[in-house]
Amino acid sequence: MAESFGTDPARYDRSRPRYPGALVRRIAASAPGPELLDVGCGTGIASRQFREAGCTVLGVDVDARMAAFARDQGCTVEVAAFETWDAAGRTFDAVVAGQTWHWIDPAAGAAKAAGVLRPGGRLALFWNVYRPAPDLAEALREAHERALPDAPRNPWARPALDGYAAIFAKVADGLRAAGGFDGPEEWRFDWEHRYTRDEWLEHVRTTGDAAHRTPERTADLLARTGAVIDDAGGAFTMPYTAVVVTAARKDAR
């Protein structure tokens, strides 16, 4: 599923939500300096936001197609899996990962991050989490169920924050197990974005739920989801909570 995101990097980049400015500023301000490593940088969405905040950013991504797109946007990217990436002695003031750390081994990833962070450096792992209105969530759940009745999961079957809670706990456990970090914290930032019907369908096409379906199944999912947005007036506002699981590298004194 992770490899499917690189099939159309341009679509992914234009349709995936950015991160709230308050999140970017807080992470940048909490690091001891401006040199930052973006793990699983993809098309460079977060990299560009941190660069605009005054950081010097190096990206690492396992997908050469995503990395090539990010380079075209002015990002510096190396292609590798983070767990086996060769830092070549380089260290950073912050290591960040936007919407990607759940693809990385939590223990090995945390240990790797501890090894490339300077004392006091900040590890910040963050996700945008949907919080649709209950009536919209129910309509999207039904559309998904009718289009993909045999899908192993329905992303609208329960509040997304409930589903992500297990991910956040696993990430925090990985930080504790790695050693070298202060106790993990969780920061939350509420924000929202308004989508037109076409914008939301573009977004749906970049998700794992649509990536591994036959063209006919994907078309049915898009048609049913589009009908939901039409019933909502052709556009809707999606509330998000951006959640950061973060810890500082212990000062080795």
Per-residue 3-state assignment (H helix, E strand, C coil) for 92-111: EEEEEEECCHHHCCHHHHHH
34's CB contacts (< 8 A; 6+ apart) are 28, 54, 55, 56, 93
pLDDT of residue 44: 98
9/61 Cα distance (integer angstroms): 13
Question: Which pLDDT value is given to residue 210?
Answer: 63
Confirm if 29 and 94 have CB atoms less than 8 A apart. no
Q: Is residue 211 situated within a structural domain? A: no
For the chain, what is the domain count? 1
* Secondary structure E strands in the chain: 35-39, 56-61, 76-79, 92-98, 117-130, 185-196, 235-248
Q: Is 150 inside a domain boundary?
A: no
By the 8 A CB rule, do 120 and 249 touch? yes
Residues in the chain, total: 253
**Residue 42 included in any domain:** yes
Q: Give the span between the Cα atoms of 187 and 7, in whole angstroms.
A: 32
Which pLDDT does position 253 carry in this prediction?
A: 40
Is residue 18, in this structure, part of any structural domain at all? yes
- Could you count the other beta carbons within 10 Å of the beta carbon of residue 141? 17
Q: Do the domain assignments include residue 199? A: no
CATH no. for residue 120? 3.40.50.150
pLDDT of residue 252: 53
12-65 confidence digits (pLDDT tens): 999 999 999 999 999 999 999 999 999 999 999 999 999 999 999 999 999 999
> pLDDT per residue over 80-95, tens digit each?
999 999 999 999 999 9
Q: Looking at the domain assignment, is residue 13 inside a domain? A: yes
Please give the residue range of the domain that contains residue 34.
2-133+158-194+238-248
Q: Where are the beta strands (DSSP E) in 29-161?
A: 35-39, 56-61, 76-79, 92-98, 117-130
218 assigned to some structural domain = no
How far is 98 from 38, CA to CA, in rounded Å?
Answer: 8
| Sites in the chain below the pLDDT cut of 70 | 1-6, 210-212, 252-253
Domain assignment present for residue 6? The answer is yes
Q: What is the pTM of this model?
A: 0.94
Amino acid 126: pLDDT? 98
